[in-house]
Each structure stands twice: as C-alpha cells, then as structure tokens.
Amino acid sequence: MPAPAIPLKVPTTLATEYKEKVVPALKASRGYKNVMQVPKIEKVVVNCCIGSAVDTKVALEDAFNEIQMITGQKPIKTKSTKSIANFKLRENQEIGVKVTLRGAIMYEFLERLIRTALPRIRDFRGVSPRAFDGRGNYTLGVKDQTIFPEVELDKVKRNLGMDITIVTTARKNEEAKELLALFGMPFSDRKLTPQ
C-alpha cells in the first residue's frame, strides 16, 4: 500500500476558485438551492501502461519515477488480469502504474495540467468535449509526458502516454462540462452530444 501523501498546507488557486467563483456560478446557472447539490471534483486518476516495451522492468521503473515526479505522489503498479498469448502477456504481470489524487494535491495537479501542461501541446486547439462517460466523469489522453514542466527533457528515454480521469459528483455530462469549463478546462468548439 502506498504511503499517504502529505497534504499541502496552503490552499491552491483552484481550490479557492471553486469556493469563491465556481460554486456561485453553478448555483446561478443551474438553480441549485443548496451548496451540497453543486457538483465537485472527487478525485483524479492518472493511469499509465508501458505497452509492448522490450525491456519491461526498466520501462516500468521509468514510468513509476516519472508519474511520481509529475503527480507528486507515489503510484502503485498495476497487473494484468488474464493471459493473452498474442501480446506475450501473462496473468499477474506488472504492466503499468496508477495514482489516485485527492484533496489539495489533486487541485495542485489539475492547476498545472490546465494552466501549464495543456497549452504546451503543439498545435493545441482544445480538449474534446466528447470524452465524458455519461455519469459526469471525464477522461483525457496525453500522448507525451514532456508537456509537464517537471520532466527534464535530457533524461527522457521513451515517450510515456497516460490517461487522466477526472471523477466528479455531477450526474450528467452537461453539468460536468460546465464545472470543468469554470475551472478553465480548454474545451474545443465541438458540441457536447446529450446522453
């Protein structure tokens, strides 16, 4: 079991913005009568799979160290659930790393993602508004870890893609999209398909 993260003592900008700007804006636009009805972000899950790397042990260690550097929290190693001969995959083989962020460290990671990392993507035109799952959760795929400023380009041995899932308490996609947009998530101009 990973060691618990040390909570940050200073509230991050996004945590303060949620209380001061996002909650009043959502109450006004959605007509919530109680503050507890306003959707919020529960957790952020960062998942990385090493795929078909030839040197799996070294690739797994590199992924472990880089995800820990990016998120600021120690990840856990994920294992395969079944054997697939075509992919040379055995049951219970370590194939990736995962970290779940909550509280202040989650807001700090989201702030770096939205305000620093995403704008560094070449030819960036916004993230897709279609990546919601129907229950208010949003998943974003990142193809390269070098968009995060913590990663030193000289030490990068291989490209490391990751999935970032933002879990919210929203019940519908529209609520979750409005919540993330108020946080500053740069959605592209495509329309959200109603579910």
pLDDT digits (tens, 9 = 90+) for 27-85: 999 988 888 999 999 999 999 988 765 677 888 888 898 899 899 999 999 888 888 77
Please indicate, yes or no, if residue 129 is contained in any of the structural domains: yes
Mean residue pLDDT of the chain comes to: 84
Which domain does 150 fall in, by range?
A: 42-182
pLDDT of residue 180: 93
Give 160's Cβ-side CA count (13 Å radius).
32
Backbone angles phi, psi at 161, to 5 degrees: -85, 155
pLDDT of residue 106: 94
Please indicate, yes or no, if residue 21 is contained in any of the structural domains: no
Please indicate, yes or no, if residue 89 is contained in any of the structural domains: yes
* Section 138-155 average pLDDT: 84
Report the percentage of the chain scoring pLDDT > 70: 88
pLDDT above 80 (res 130): yes
pLDDT above 80 (res 141): yes
- The C-alpha atoms of residue 88 and residue 95 are separated, in whole angstroms, by 11
pLDDT of residue 53: 58
Q: Which residues make beta-bridge pairs with 167? A: 43
Alpha helices in 88-172 (DSSP H): 103-112
Could you identify the residue written with the tokens 């129907």? 134
pLDDT above 80 (res 111): yes
- Residue 156 — very low, low, confident or very high, per pLDDT cuts 50/70/90? confident
pLDDT above 80 (res 138): yes
- The C-alpha atoms of residue 76 and residue 74 are separated, in whole angstroms, by 7
Please indicate, yes or no, if residue 112 is contained in any of the structural domains: yes
Please indicate, yes or no, if residue 88 is contained in any of the structural domains: yes
pLDDT above 60 (res 171): yes
Phi-psi region of 103 (alpha: psi -120 to 50; beta: other; left: phi over 0): left
Please indicate, yes or no, if residue 166 is contained in any of the structural domains: yes
Q: Number of folded domains in the chain? A: 1
Backbone angles phi, psi at 190, to 5 degrees: -65, 145
- Beta strands 138-142 and 162-168 are antiparallel
pLDDT above 60 (res 3): no
Please indicate, yes or no, if residue 18 is contained in any of the structural domains: no
Residue 164: which H helix or E strand, with range?
Answer: strand 162-168
Give the domain CATH number at 137: 3.30.1440.10
- Residue 125 — very low, low, confident or very high, per pLDDT cuts 50/70/90? confident
Please indicate, yes or no, if residue 30 is contained in any of the structural domains: no
* Tokens (6 digits) for 103: 């509280």
